[in-house]
Chains A and B, each alone.
Chain A
Amino acid sequence: MIDILGITALLKLAKQHAPQGMPTMRVSLLADTSSQLLSGALKGYAKFFGFKLELFEGEFDQIELMVFDPTSTLHAFCPETVIIYLAGEKIGMEFGALSVSERGSFAKQFSERVRSLHETLSTRGYQVLFFNLADPGDGVFGNYASKVAWSLQNQIRQCNLELTRLAGEANDFHVYDLAALQATMGRAALFDPKLYYTSKFALTPDILPLVARDVVKMLAARKGSFLKCIILDLDNTLWGGVIGDDGLDRIQVGELGLGPAFTAFQSWLKQLRDRGIVLAVCSKNDEANAREPFLKHPDMLLHLEDIAVFMANWDDKATNIRRIKNIIDIDYGAMMFLDDNPAERQLVRESFPTMIVPELPADPSEYVTCLIGLNPFETASYTPQDAHRTGEYQVEAKRHAEREKFVDLTDFLRSLEMRAVVQSFLPFNLPRVAQLTQRSNQFNLRTVRYTEKQIAELAGSPAHVTMTFELKDRFGDNGLISVIILEIQGDVFFVDTWLMSCRVLGRGMEQFVLNTIVRKARELGIRRVRGEYIPTAKNGMVKDHYLKLGFTREEANRWVLETADYVECPVNIALDQAEKTAGGV
């Protein structure tokens, strides 16, 4: 399913007309070598992933000119992202032209060059996606090069470290790791000297699909398109053998048989879980048998606390996956399903066409290599709170179980003892707020994506009122689950952003938020609240959001509420008094 496309197919796809309503990406590509094939490959893969790529290709080798001239066609195009690709070969030639005494400061000068480019582009609000350097190699010192500070090898590595440093410092600077691709695929796969010397193509046509796939995934992640969850089979996927038949002593994990391969696979999955990817189990087994290795096998690296939802029964997997989605409410398209059984994979593929279902190799030794090769886990953000995601979903599973005990929804909601903390955008919640605007696809009225920098600007803007909502109950803390951005237009609040985590649907949070908005409106003498619904492929659930809240329709997707007419909605959520000390709203 995620087989890499050939370059010819990719270029054909690039030329195809994009269907109406396909979301767009607006990107500029600046390179110091021929970039037409790379452009075509990027456009092709963008279309493959469901995006129309509007691409401006800079003039050949005119990077500084395009960036520093405010009247250049680059700035007239006004991209969202500027991709800069400097070819290692060209850098190598520049290096070689320096005197020996100058070569030692090559990386430092490279760093200054990059920072200067970044600063100008960042000031204009563009994201910068920088290819790091694929070492052309010169063999001048052989392996002695490590001992010579000014060798090409050392300087290129320093250059790449400088890029890493900048990526860590600046929110809007991102590095595409071409050097890693060269390490995996080998230099010969990336570079054909005759193509370079005759036509100035520094990347072979055959490597371009891999490059394009991963660059587009980086761009798509910023548009909210990325994997959030892995659903795992157990037998012959997480361990060798069948627990129901082989028993605890004979399943292969640890040192027994193919155990090392499965242990390595579990280790990798654990890294992903620690980073905020949610793991769920979907296994055809008696539940007690399925849980036994997690509880009792000394060599299991994954434990029950690493699994957000554990479904082990004899129902079909499609039904179980629907149950899982009910609890963790992640788009099927943001889920990956891993199962050693091709028939199960096919069933799941057919039931959920947007889910990522890779063909696992027959040999478990190759699971990790194969999956890493697909590069499934690009992301646009990471906050330390991501590691808590699994715990939050486990608590959610408990709430679901509790719900079963109540007949009346209101009684259930009251039993939760919900409290909400309301604050405005503050320095400590900026990353999480930005992340939510980037991740949230379903309960999102206008799907406006914001960077941290933009969120910071909104926080300080006198023309805006910003709100964050945290929801806690007696089971635990859901964290920050709703973001509101209101634009003051005269005596009207325009709702620029209203998004909410799907986890807290049906709790009355929407009503609580509206109560808060109207309360604030009255405080400021605002007479009207205006909302807009911008339809996307994923937010159909909020089509009638404003209608349900009692707004009046003004035009097709615009709604209005008179604050004078509004009667507060009774909700089972109490305002947590902590907001008074945190600066409030």
Chain B
Amino acid sequence: MNDNLWNDLTATFRDLLDNDSLTLTEATTAKDVEGWDSITHVLIIVAVEKKFRVKFTAGEIQQLQNVGELAALIRSKQASSPSGGG
């Protein structure tokens, strides 16, 4: 489950940023990735919500510091509503 989530997350980022060789680590932030600006950030949030069938709150989005925290947030939302949430 852990690996699948990370693979899917990476695939989502790669598609949005148009970069097939992009690799993510837990510590990756927007500053580390070319093309991840405030506009792309919105698209990432929307794409992640759709892909993983979760819904973030405005507060949660504003507090995310890195990709690792994003992954953890997805995991916790999926755990609390196994039917897929959203």
Contact = CB atoms under 8 A, between A and B. Distances in A.
A40 B16 CA distance: 14
Contacts of A8: 15-16, 43, 47
Nearest to B60: A194
Interface string A85-104: 00000000000000000000
B46 interface: yes
Most buried by A among B38, B39, B41: B39
Contacts of B46: 192, 195, 204-206
B83 interface: no
Interface string B8-28: 000000011010000000000
B56 A194 contact: yes
B57 A194 contact: yes
B4 interface: no
Contacts of B38: 199
Interface in B31-86: 38-39, 41-43, 45-47, 56-58, 61-62
B45 to A, nearest CB: 8
B61 A198 contact: yes
A496 to B, nearest CB: 43
Interface centre among B18, B41, B42, B47 (most CB of A within 10 A): B42
Interface in A190-213: 192-195, 197-199, 201, 204-206
Contact of A205 (B15, B42, B58, B62): B42
A193 B46 CA distance: 12
Interface residues of A, number: 18
B61 A194 contact: yes
B28 to A, nearest CB: 20
A283 to B, nearest CB: 43
Interface string A149-175: 000000000000000000000000000
A577 to B, nearest CB: 66
A72 interface: no
A199 to B, nearest CB: 5
B18 A194 contact: no
Nearest to A196: B58
A37 B42 contact: yes
In this complex, which of A194, A201, A205 has the most chain B Cβ atoms within 10 angstroms of its Cβ? A194
B43 A195 contact: no
B43 A12 contact: no
A36 interface: yes
B58 A194 contact: yes
A205 B44 CA distance: 10
A348 B62 CA distance: 52
Contacts of B58: 193-194, 197-198
A53 to B, nearest CB: 18
A206 B58 CA distance: 18
A7 interface: yes
Interface of B: 15-16, 18, 38-39, 41-43, 45-47, 56-58, 61-62
Interface of A: 7-8, 11-12, 36-37, 40, 192-195, 197-199, 201, 204-206
24 contacts: A8-B15, A8-B16, A8-B43, A11-B43, A12-B18, A37-B39, A37-B43, A40-B39, A193-B58, A194-B57, A194-B58, A194-B61, A195-B42, A195-B45, A195-B46, A198-B58, A198-B61, A198-B62, A199-B38, A201-B42, A204-B46, A205-B42, A205-B43, A206-B46
Given A7-B43, A37-B39, A205-B46, 8 more contacts: A8-B47, A12-B18, A37-B43, A194-B58, A194-B61, A198-B62, A201-B42, A206-B46
